[in-house]
Amino acid sequence: MDFSNAKFKEVFFAIYNDLPRGGPGNYASTEKAYALMSALPKNPKILDIGCGPGKQTLDLAGISKGEIMAVDNHQPFVDRLNAAAKAAGLEHRVRAQNADMFKLDFPTEYFDVLWSEGAIYQMGFENGLKTLGKFLKKGGYLAVTEAVWLKADPPQEIKDNWAAEYPAMTDVSECLARINNCGYRIQGNFTLPQEAWLDDFYTPMQEKIAEVKERYQADPEAMDMMPCFENEITLFHKYSDYFGYEFFVAQK
Ligand SMILES: C[S@@+](CC[C@H](N)C(=O)[O-])C[C@H]1O[C@@H](n2cnc3c(N)ncnc32)[C@H](O)[C@@H]1O
């Protein structure tokens, strides 16, 4: 994803801005991960990092009855989430703000839960766990999803794709070791099901790409970029046995 290319950024957000989610995930997985946190206060303080359009933030608000601070550095997502929280009558418990996850400024050991679906990789998995961990109370919980290899020896085509997109991607056991190394005790982990990739992400993305192609048909530079988005979906259908998203829940 080359966001230094202004046209790529424009096309990317023309596709992503209105999707239900910014990455794989679903209600059932958010609920299952939350249930792995066994000793939370009644109204936990939750920080949702890289919240995107905030689907999981609102799901979490319903599941947790907590107070959620959600951060993302893309203003349209922040605005979307704040509007959706207001429409749902949740604005007293859910607030989104534009912030860079590398430069967050919250009190040390303030949150009961650090939540991040598909976003912490931006910081590097281990670096993210260490850097963001300071905002988590001792005994608080971390819940993150991370792209992982599910099988050894993936075919070259998918290996090359991830080498370009996320060269640091590793497997579940290495992620578990890294979480332990960063001072957390694993509470559980599970692989997101196929529908978490499709229902709120790739299926609506496919429809959106068709719409965006119509809009940009007179723009050859933009049209040249479309296969990149289409290919991501094709590769998922072809190789989803080999890679996936893993939900990790751990206690500090
Ligand atoms: C793969 S999306 C996941 C969004 C959401 N958690 C979900 O599952 O639908 C990653 C999100 O991280 C945000 N992001 C990327 N870099 C960031 C940064 N440095 N600080 C804050 N947010 C960032 C993006 O804007 C995007 O919304």
Q: What is the pLDDT of residues 48-73, one digit of tens each?
A: 999 999 999 999 999 999 999 999 99
SS3 98: strand
Hey, which of 101, 169, 202, 232 would you mutate to test ligand 1's pocket, going by the most ligand atoms within 8 Å of its Cβ?
Answer: 101
Confidence of residue 3 (pLDDT cuts 50, 70, 90): confident
Q: Render pLDDT for 124-163 as a digit per residue (tens, 0 to 9).
A: 999 999 999 999 999 999 999 999 999 999 999 999 999 9
Token representation of residue 65 = 């009855």
Residues 196-227 pLDDT 10s: 999 999 999 999 999 999 999 999 999 999 99
Task: Tell me which residue has its CA closest to atom 11 in ligand 1.
Answer: 50
Pocket of ligand 1 (CB under 6 A): 21-23, 25, 50-52, 55-56, 71-74, 77, 100-102, 117-119, 122
Return the CATH superfamily for domain 20-194+243-251. Answer: Vaccinia Virus protein VP39 (3.40.50.150)
pLDDT digits (tens, 9 = 90+) for 37-52: 999 999 999 999 999 9
SS3 category, 37:
coil
- For residue 216, report the phi and psi dihedrals to the nearest 5 degrees: -105, 15
Q: Report the candidate in 52, 64, 183 with the shortest Cα–Cα distance to residue 113.
A: 64
Please provide the average confidence, as pLDDT, over all residues in the chain.
96
Residue 10's Cβ-count burial label (10 Å; 0-12, 13-18, 19+) is: middle
pLDDT exceeds 90 at position 94 = yes
Query: Which ligand 1 atom is the nearest neighbour of the CA of 48?
Result: 6
Q: Which residue has the tokens 């229902």?
A: 199
List of E strands, 127-202: 136-149, 170-171, 185-191
Residue 90 CA, ligand 1 centroid: distance in Å = 21
pLDDT at residue number 5: 87
Alpha carbons 175 and 125: distance in angstroms, whole number:
8
- Tell me the per-residue pLDDT of 13-25, one tens digit each, with 9 for 90 and over: 999 999 999 999 9
Pocket test for ligand 1, best of 80, 122, 125, 246 (most atoms within 8 A of CB): 122
The yes-or-no verdict on residue 229 having pLDDT over 80 is yes
CB 24 within 8 A of CB 236: no
Sign of the CA dihedral with 69 first, then 72, 73, and 77 last:
negative
How much is the CA Rg of the chain, to the nearest whole Å? 18
CA separation for the pair 150, 239 (Å, rounded): 10
Which of the two residues, 97 and 10, has the higher pLDDT score?
Answer: 97
Q: Parallel, antiparallel, or unpaired: how do β-strands 45-49 and 67-72 relate?
A: parallel
The Cα 203–Cα 162 span in angstroms is 21
pLDDT of residue 2: 76
Q: Is the pTM of this model over 0.85?
A: yes
Is pLDDT above 90 for 83? yes
Which atom of ligand 1 is the closest one to the Cα of 102? 19
pLDDT of 245 reads: 98
All residues at 6 or more sequence positions from 225 whose CB lies less than 8 Å from its CB, including other chains: 7, 8, 11
| pLDDT tens-place string over residues 182-197 | 999 999 999 999 999 9
Strand partners, 186: 250
Instruction: Please check whether residue 229 is in contact with residue 205, taking contact to mean a CB–CB distance below 8 angstroms.
Output: yes
Domain ranges of the chain: 20-194+243-251
Q: Give mean pLDDT, residues 98-111.
A: 97
Query: Is residue 4 very low, low, confident or very high in pLDDT (cuts 50, 70, 90)?
Result: confident
